[in-house]
Structure 1
Amino acid sequence: MKIAYARVSSREQSENSHALEQQIARLESSQVDRVIQDVESGSKNSKSPGFRELMDLVKEGKVAEIVVTRLDRLTRSLSSLQKTMEILKAHGVALVSLDDSIDTSTAAGVFHLNMLGALAEMEVGRLSERVRHGWSHLRDRRVAMNPPFGYRKENDQHVLDTTPFLCLISDRSEWSRAKISRYYIDTFLQERSIRLTLRVVYPHFGIQVYRSRRRGPHATRLIRFSPSAFNEWLTNPVLQGHLSYRRNASGNRKREDPKTWQIIPNTHEPLITAEEAAMIKQILSRNRQAKGFGSPKRRHSVSGLVFCGECRSACYHQSGCQNYARSKRLGIPQIIRRYYQCKNWRSRACPQKAMVSLDIIEEAVIAALISRAEDLAKMADTPAPTPEPLALRELRSQLADLNRMAYNPAIENAKAQIKNQIAGMELDLTHTTQESSRLGQLISALADPDFWKEGLEPNEKSQLFQDLVSQVIIKDGAVLEVKLKV
């Protein structure tokens, strides 16, 4: 189809109530099959219903040409225009702009549009240069940026935030952010563990989980750190009295290698001395080697899959001996029971203390997989007929047309090439059918309870759980929900 697109903003519509009608009249005079219209700002065209409908028709291959009165009717953003033109080019759709004399079905129209794209790309490059020069100027002046908790920015410098921040109910003492930060640091140097530090600090300041109607259960974030955030805060060079730049130079939230940071030493009063910083670094390194915080190692079949139903945080593995005293007295083997508990209970940031046995979690996961496998098996018993691909039908049609032509060596070569393409596509369809058959066998095996009891090694069961299960939600000592990937 040849489709026209008309758009006016709300302001334009209010100033001239006939603006949209005038556009549509001009577009209809171009002998279009259909007109799609929007009353929306050009900077938000990706959210406009008419524009989304137009792009859907393009992706479905139903559009041959799009007509607009001006390019800014399609979008006012040059970056959005470039993305739109990439989509149109990929689907072989021409763009005609009546007032701009652009027709991408001609070489001149493509050249004109490419010139606009080059100007947009140059403007983006200039903006990046201005941002880089601005950051360079700030670094040359040693301007403080993004003060961490415990500091505030004053006259472009980091200074300790000693203004009263909260008052403890227990002894009516006033605490500033700097004093709270020092308490965190002293507690870590004493406990020598991130999670044990939070477990001591949270009850001291009364950090509790509360429920919000809009956001659900979560803990107050006035002075609360997650373990990863506390680790990042504790190793921030600003706490050691240094300015730090290029920590996030890549433009995303992931931190760069500390070796690439630009550090300007001794620019303000520190919270952590050089000796304490070295000790903190040593403690964190040893904890990582001991498979502490941040370890990716999976120890059990559901490792990394169990989450708390109250605060939605991950649950950690616990273990205990059922017959410890008896085994010591009689010399018999110990019976080890394994459990999962919300990680935030350890720091008293979540009220969910009850643990759930690993055996109960595995039984719930297996029951969910068996139930799902039975549903999939029923669907597999009545498979929908697979239509022949459109590309294969087109090749057969081309071959039939060539067979009706008189003998010619060039035609014979073309027929041989088409036959090879058809044979390759038929082979791919055969492989797909075989894969579907193997999938059906796997589904039948998963639906068999004996398969889970006798037919699997522990490492195989663990791999299946990791591949098929998304989350296991526990709450109040029971499995609340098993979320599957299939």
Structure 2
Amino acid sequence: MTIFAYSYSDPLLGDEPVPWGEEVDRHYSDLGQRHQFQALLTDLATDCPDYLLLRRLDELGDNLAEIGDRLQHLENFALQVIATEPPYQTGITLDKADLGQLFRTMGDRLRQQKIQRGHAKNRRQCLPPPGRAPYGYKRGQDRYLIDRSTAPVVKDFCEHFLLFGSLRGAVRHLEQRFGKKIAVSTGRNWLTNPVYRGHLHYCDGKTMLKTHAAILNPGEAAQIDRLLRRNRSLAPRSASAPRCLAGLVQCQNCGSALTIARVTRRHQAQEYLYLRPLTCPQTPKCRAIAYDQVFQATIQKICQDLPNLTQQSQGPAPREQQAQLQAEVQQKEALIAALPTLAAQGIFDPDTAAQRRYTLHNEIAQLQAQLNQLPPANLQAIATTLSLESFWYDLSEVERRFYLREFLAQIQIQRTGSQEWQIQLNFNFSTSFRYTES
């Protein structure tokens, strides 16, 4: 028994060649063109097998007429055609009585593939995906254009989130100021959608950079990503709490998070702030600690250790990694610049050159994302400024909250006595340090 197999892959649709099993005596595979199918027909005239395996009948042609003619041509030989994938799979062979239904199914599939090919060609040219433009944009001829009537709404929403760090608060602000009601999930999509950063992200997972005017600049986009990443570890109400230590302090003895308690005296305007455990299982319960003492101890320790800590993180390894990534980006940009020359010389055909350009743009986007995750180049200068105690006391509570959450993952209180305690700072980018205050 002799078995031949034929498969066709469309590069626009991302089809992969089929690895047939060892029972197949001869395999013919086409990519984009059907030259191997013509070779198959030539070989069938002299060496006809018992069976011919196909994945799907629509691999025989681009339309129903071609498929019907080629299927009839194959049946003129003394062989059996077997399709292995649904809905064409029949178990052993194709029954002519079922061809009508199969051809209707193939017609639907061919129309779908034609639409997908059109979308794939648009992606190669970095054109916007089909459908309505995102809120804040309108469709142009070949790119998204900023809608001057709605883009300020998105911009104000993002700026409010950058200022207060609260997603739900930004949603409420949008309704109060503009009368625009959106869901929290919609607001999160605005903050993370590459479209508002000037990029296009397609359904195949690839991202094209700088395809249209951006509403958010790269600095704002990176800051939004950091805020969202930090807020995942915080309670929802702590994200926009008025005090800068909210959501950061934890009691190491009982494992409870410390909340800020506000105490006032009758007929007096002065208030006192304390940090007390939310759910302390110990008896007696852990005592409350004055908020100002913990804040002052935290600032002193940050000013003492942050410069040395940033020097360690700014060592040669991150710099070498940054230089290596930048070199790779420049190399790929040089390849993109050389594609028109290669196409003019006939080395690449237009479709291959467009596909290569599309792939290189996506690889550059991935490298750029890795660069954005590295420590900033001016981290040492920032640490020098933050190491001044006067700097912290000149900030507002919102600004203190931003910087503390930028560098601190957690502040842990370890009690060594009824009135004595130690503070341990867990930084976001290095090991923890300990400060003792009694």
Could you say which TM-score interval applies, normalised by the shorter chain? Answer: 0.3 to 0.5
| Higher RCO structure (Cα 8 Å, ≥6 apart) | 2
**TM-score for both structures, normalised by structure 2:** 0.34
**TM-score for both structures, normalised by structure 1:** 0.31
